[in-house]
């Protein structure tokens, strides 16, 4: 794999235009909302696309997101199970990288497993499921819509 600014730009375009991600974000949010007994806003296609642009505007984050996405897109292990560990590792890393620093990255990594349990594609390499789940987990974490992210933390010390 060789990463250049042109490759990163092409990956941004591919992720921005991926029509599977927003429905998966909203499905994941519905599951999490039910588990958390709370309401959460749905994400629009426009909000997702704008946030992809934000992620890729940070060059250091962009090159890492592009690399992880590229690895997952092409990852396929015969009989799948031997590759289970590596695709889960890459998926968690991608979700956390998209979400940002702690604590959001840790939340996105955990959310990856929720999203991953709800996506399966027979028409693509095994890593494609994990790519879609990672993008959904990372972007749903960094996008607004959760009440607890809409106000200042009660733990801030002045």
Residue 124's pLDDT band (boundaries 50, 70, 90)?
low
Place of tokens 């960094």: 142
Task: Assess if residue 51 is contained within a domain.
Answer: yes
Whether residue 143 lies inside any domain: the answer is yes
Instruction: Express each pLDDT in 39-74 by its tens digit.
Output: 999 999 999 999 999 999 999 999 999 999 999 998
In a domain, 52, yes or no: yes
Window from 2-16, 36-50, 51-65, 118-132 with minimum mean pLDDT: 118-132
The Cα 74–Cα 111 span in angstroms is 22
Does any domain span residue 15? yes
The boundaries of the domain holding residue 129 are 5-147
- State the pLDDT confidence band at 146, using cuts at 50, 70 and 90: confident
In a domain, 154, yes or no: no
Task: Determine, yes or no, domain membership for 19.
Answer: yes
Instruction: For residues 99 and 134, give the distance between their C-alpha atoms in angstroms, rounded to a whole number.
Output: 10
Task: Tell me the residue length of the chain.
Answer: 158
- Which of 48, 45, 18 has its CA nearest to residue 141? 48
Asked if residue 155 belongs to a domain, the reply is: no
Number of domains in the chain: 1
Q: Does residue 34 form part of some domain?
A: yes
């Amino acid at each position: 794999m060789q990463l250049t600014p042109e490759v990163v730009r092409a990956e941004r375009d591919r992720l921005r235009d991926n029509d599977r991600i927003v429905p998966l974000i909203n499905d994941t949010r519905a599951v999490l909302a039910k588990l958390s007994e709370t309401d959460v806003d749905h994400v629009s296609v426009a909000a997702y696309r704008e946030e992809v642009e934000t992620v890729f505007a940070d060059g250091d984050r962009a090159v890492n997101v592009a690399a992880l996405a590229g690895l997952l897109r092409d990852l396929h292990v015969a009989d799948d199970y031997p590759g289970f560990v590596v695709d889960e590792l890459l998926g968690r890393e991608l979700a956390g990288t998209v979400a940002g620093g702690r604590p959001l990255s840790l939340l996105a990594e955990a959310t990856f497993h929720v999203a991953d349990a709800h996506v399966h594609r027979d028409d693509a390499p095994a890593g494609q499921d994990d790519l879609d789940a990672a993008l959904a987990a990372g972007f749903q974490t960094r996008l607004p819509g959760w009440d607890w992210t809409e106000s200042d933390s009660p733990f801030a010390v002045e």
